[in-house]
């Protein structure tokens, strides 16, 4: 078990491509941290630096309080699982799992007991243990690769998008197993993914990266509800956060945010806007928080009207695309299916406690 600490870590390739920029991050002992971001954001380079597979251009890496920046991967006592299963195809599943234990002064019975314990944790049927690893399906091969990491009992587990190349059913099963293992083993996990559902499900904390930089590091609920910028609001969520460009205006009694022909009363947030240099504000709200009110009249300051452009039926969910004006559209998620038809006029409720505001540059506004 060990804390992972990255201090002012940067990585530059070919003297010009800055893959990681001055990264400072602490992964607490026994916690699961997911590095989340789009392709090319630096998350895989970061985990390879932790593993010792890449040397940082600048900065230091600590494991369990010990600086390991100059140590080789074998000297760091970490185990890494990659996108593609790293197994010996001509060896049996049992021998693959046992391989990391060879030379550790363990008896055959001790090794066999450990292998069967790991197989049980991975929900590997005992009947497959004597099959050649190259003959089992990709999901089982990835289980074997994870088992080879677990059997060693390292200080830190590193996962680099281990579910990417699996089918949907295998991904769902393995994600559940990895979540169970993270709780069962009580060890430090660093997990790289571009899939927000994996990160939200697995992580104690999520590190969102973009263009080589860490832009928010927090628990999943905080990142989802209070994104630090517009990119995070859009990137997390399926679909992502709605954004509307608005203009603030004041009448005798109230403060309003206007977008197109609609406006919302935002008097409650007056202090939030007091230091803004201009009246331009971006409103953000997640699709599942918008409420379709049927034929309700627009007699409240948090309601606006729109026209349903089209709807999407996604199994157990519905998404409606509502046009609020020229070039302005929002998505509404998980509403009662019979309540809306295409081209119908609808009234939307914008709950005050779910409104988020951003500067024109995309930086979140939040009262301290």
pLDDT bucket at 295, cuts 50 / 70 / 90: low
Least confident of 27-31, 259-263, 354-358: 259-263
pLDDT at 297 over 70: no
| Closest to 287 measured CA to CA, from 337, 321, 323, 324 | 321
pTM equals 0.91
Domains by residue range for the chain, with CATH: 4-235 (3.40.50.300), 242-365 (2.40.50.140)
List, in order, residues 6 or more apart from 311 with CB less than 8 Å away: 318, 319, 320, 321, 340, 342
Mean pLDDT of all residues in 90-103: 92
| Phi, psi angles (nearest 5°) of residue 70 | -95, 0
- What's the CA gap between 165 and 175, in Å, rounded? 13
CB proximity list for 347: less than 8 A, separation 6 or greater = 292, 293, 294, 295, 296, 297, 298, 303, 304, 305
Q: What angle do CA 358, 359, 363 make, to 5 degrees?
A: 65
| CB of 146 closer than 8 Å to CB of 178 | yes
- Which residue's structure tokens are 């709950």? 351
Query: What mean pLDDT, rounded, does the chain reach?
Result: 91
Instruction: Tell me the backbone φ, ψ of residue 245, rounded to 5 degrees.
Output: -80, 125
* Strand 32-36 with 66-67, pairing: unpaired
User: Does the structure show a pLDDT above 90 at 1?
Assistant: no
Give the pLDDT of residue 298: 53
Radius of gyration (C-alpha) of the chain in whole angstroms: 25
Range with top average pLDDT, 113-122, 136-145, 166-175, 218-227: 218-227
CA distance 269 to 366: 10
């Amino acid at each position: 078990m060990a804390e992972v600490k990255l201090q002012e870590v940067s990585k530059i390739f070919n003297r010009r491509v800055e893959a990681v920029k001055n990264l400072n991050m602490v992964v607490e002992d026994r916690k699961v941290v997911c590095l989340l971001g789009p392709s090319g954001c630096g998350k895989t380079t970061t985990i390879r630096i932790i593993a010792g597979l890449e040397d940082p251009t600048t900065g230091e890496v600590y494991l369990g309080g010990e600086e390991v920046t100059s140590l080789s991967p074998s000297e760091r006592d970490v185990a890494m699982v990659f996108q593609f299963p790293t197994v010996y195809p001509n060896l049996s599943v049992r021998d693959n799992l046992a391989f990391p234990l060879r030379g550790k002064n363990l008896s055959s019975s001790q090794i066999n007991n450990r292998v069967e314990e790991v197989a049980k944790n991975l929900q590997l049927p005992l009947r497959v243990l004597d099959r050649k690893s190259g003959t089992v399906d990709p999901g089982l091969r990835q289980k074997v690769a994870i088992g080879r990491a677990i059997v060693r009992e390292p200080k830190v587990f590193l996962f680099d998008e281990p579910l990417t190349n699996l089918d949907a059913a295998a991904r769902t099963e393995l994600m559940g197993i990895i979540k169970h293992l993270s709780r069962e083993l009580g060890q430090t996990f660093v997990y790289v993914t571009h899939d927000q559902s994996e990160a939200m499900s697995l992580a104690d904390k999520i590190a969102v990266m973009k263009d080589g930089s860490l832009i928010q590091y927090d628990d999943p609920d905080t990142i989802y509800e209070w994104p630090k910028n517009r990119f995070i609001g859009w990137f997390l969520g399926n679909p992502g956060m709605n954004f509307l460009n608005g203009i603030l205006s004041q009448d005798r009694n109230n403060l309003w945010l206007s977008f197109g022909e609609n406006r919302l009363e935002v008097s409650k947030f007056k202090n939030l806007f007091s230091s803004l240099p201009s009246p331009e504000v971006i409103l953000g709200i997640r699709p599942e928080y918008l409420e379709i009110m049927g034929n309700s009249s627009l007699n409240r300051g948090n309601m606006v009207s729109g026209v349903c452009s089209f709807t999407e039926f996604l199994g157990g969910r519905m998404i409606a695309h509502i046009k609020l004006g020229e070039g302005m559209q929002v998505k509404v998620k998980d509403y009662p299916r019979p309540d809306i038809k295409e081209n119908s006029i609808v009234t939307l409720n914008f709950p005050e406690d779910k409104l988020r505001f951003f500067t024109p540059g995309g930086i979140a506004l939040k009262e301290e």
